Structure 1
Amino acid sequence: MLLARPPDLAPRAPWPDMPLVVWPAALAMWGPGDASSRHAHHAMHLLLRREGTLTFRAGTTKVDSRAAGVLVGPDVPHAIDATGGEVILLFVEPESQDGERLRASLDSPARLFDEAARDALLARLPRKGPIAHEAIGPWMEATLEALAGPTEVPAPRMHPRVRKLLRHLRAEPAPEDTSLEALSEVAGLSSGRLMHAFTESTGVPLRPYLLWLRLQRAAGALASGRTAGEAAHAAGFSDAAHLTRTFRRMFGTTPSFLQRRSQFVQAKARPTDAS
């Protein structure tokens, strides 16, 4: 999995003045491909190899699939090997409007794209060489529209009080008190009702989702130049080792990989409301 410093959101600055960033509704990244170990994270993501094919392994299966690209649903265990070529990634938060429409379009945990489908999705971008930063915004719009399900998503899953809580959790600066009691007060629900409504709305329990947000903030800190220890402390992890274990489980790679590779990868955020 590729990660990068989002220049729209987190220009490089010395710590500790640099704010931690929670990624937006959609975020595109592009650069050299690599291999990830088996992992799962809450964001949906599209990965397209600009030329050639990649290998994809879903769940616990030992069978690798070859494809030119893949769209992976939220919280789906998987591994991808795209070494030896350039890739473009599009991360989408499942609870955003874009995410709800993408989920409606998926009838399986992951969707594979052959080379013809990949070429159609990348038609707005050059096949080789550098990608102009200003070309990514229109590409994101067109790609999300091409992949999305119906404009009117039937039976929305998001509880309005959960949506309110998500806005609170993703605000800057991050809320200091994330105890169940404090979050229940923000949502205006009892603790038991909040836990039930949150899982029903997002597909994951509240505590794993909070860990996902902390990991996003740590990734933003790492890509902005902080050390693993600084990022761990700032995002609420006990130490760098705790961050590394969590990073590998959710992203299939290590914080040091992000630190080494971020200078070779560019990113652009989609300026839409995530909730």
Structure 2
Amino acid sequence: MDLHYGWTGKLEIGDRWAIWRGAVGDSQPHRHYAAQAVLSTEAATVAFADGELGSGTCLLIAPLLPHRLLPHAQAAILFVEPGAAVVTGLDPAWLAQIRIAIARSATPPSPFWQHWVMQAEQPAAPQPDWVEQARKLIDQALGEGNVSLPAIARHFPWSPERFRHRLALALGTPFRRFVLWRRLRLAATLLAQGCDATQAAHGAGFADAAHFARTLKRQFGVTASQALLQPPR
């Protein structure tokens, strides 16, 4: 294995999902809230905190599981936030590859990925009108910096706490996590439109470019300089 691969490729950020396409560089042991599926034509390798190595053309990593990806020439990495079932434009071959990996796993597969595959194979249920309204209000507030839950809740006939609870149930994701993904998605759009990192960061409500870079690194293990960010579909 060539240990000199660096993180170079394209990162597309969607609605609580992201897809990395490109070379996989060395990484430090870490964990993140989003689950990962690492898909490749030649076997990739992941090292877990207990020293165990996993190798294959479809590696399934559960949310918050400490791990470290080893360098690899070319791979697609699917990041999925818990609660997000629909990945726009997902290659059906990837879904089949994930399903096969679950079926052939020598150890009990991640309950997350088992549940996600079942959800992904079902038609997406339409969201209630009030959820779409909340999404639009959040997007409008992103550039202002702090997205205030009480300010958003004011548009609905519930207390802020009741609104928080109902929205989390409808989306499958806590309010703050949902806002974070919307910020990242907007920043990716602004970068793709020609903004520099500072403009994109401020436009999406991050404190500065460094804050955006740290968040991107924490979420996906790559920086904006390593990834050619793609506009969301």
CA spacing shift, 1:181–1:231, aligned 2, 3 Å: same
TM-superposition CA deviations, 1:141-174 (whole Å, max 9, x none): 2433663216569xx9x98477435642686896
Q: Equivalent residue for 1:70?
A: 59
Query: How far apart, in 2, do the equivalents of 1:175 and 1:232 lie?
Result: 9
Decide which of 223, 232, 239 is 2:201's aligned counterpart: 232
Identify unmatched segments of 5+ residues in structure 2. 1-6, 100-116
CA spacing shift, 1:55–1:93, aligned 2, 3 Å: closer
The answer to whether the 8 Å contact 1:79/1:252 transfers is: no
1:180, CA displacement in angstroms? Answer: 1.6
Q: Is residue 160 of structure 2 the alignment partner of residue 191 of structure 1? A: yes
Q: Is residue 132 of structure 2 the alignment partner of residue 164 of structure 1? A: yes
Q: Is residue 40 of structure 2 the alignment partner of residue 49 of structure 1? A: yes
Bigger RCO of structures 1 and 2 (CA < 8 A, at least 6 apart): 1
TM-score, with structure 2 as normaliser:
0.64
TM-superposition CA deviations, 1:65-117 (whole Å, max 9, x none): 322232344x5354442413211233446545436xxxxxxxxxxxxxxxxxx
TM-score, with structure 1 as normaliser:
0.56
Q: Equivalent residue for 2:10?
A: 4
1:240, CA displacement in angstroms? Answer: 1.7
Q: Equivalent residue for 1:113?
A: none
CA spacing shift, 1:175–1:254, aligned 2, 3 Å: closer
CA spacing shift, 1:227–1:236, aligned 2, 3 Å: same
CA spacing shift, 1:81–1:141, aligned 2, 3 Å: same
Q: Is residue 85 of structure 2 the alignment partner of residue 85 of structure 1? A: no
Q: Identity of counterpart residues, as a percentage?
A: 26
CA spacing shift, 1:268–1:87, aligned 2, 3 Å: farther
1:193, CA displacement in angstroms? Answer: 0.5
RMSD over aligned CA atoms reads 4.0
Query: How far apart, in 1, do the equivalents of 2:213 and 2:231 lie?
Result: 25
Paired residue total? 203
TM-superposition CA deviations, 1:210-231 (whole Å, max 9, x none): 1232123224444555432222
TM-superposition CA deviations, 1:28-70 (whole Å, max 9, x none): 542212234414244x44211321321143xxx3434322232
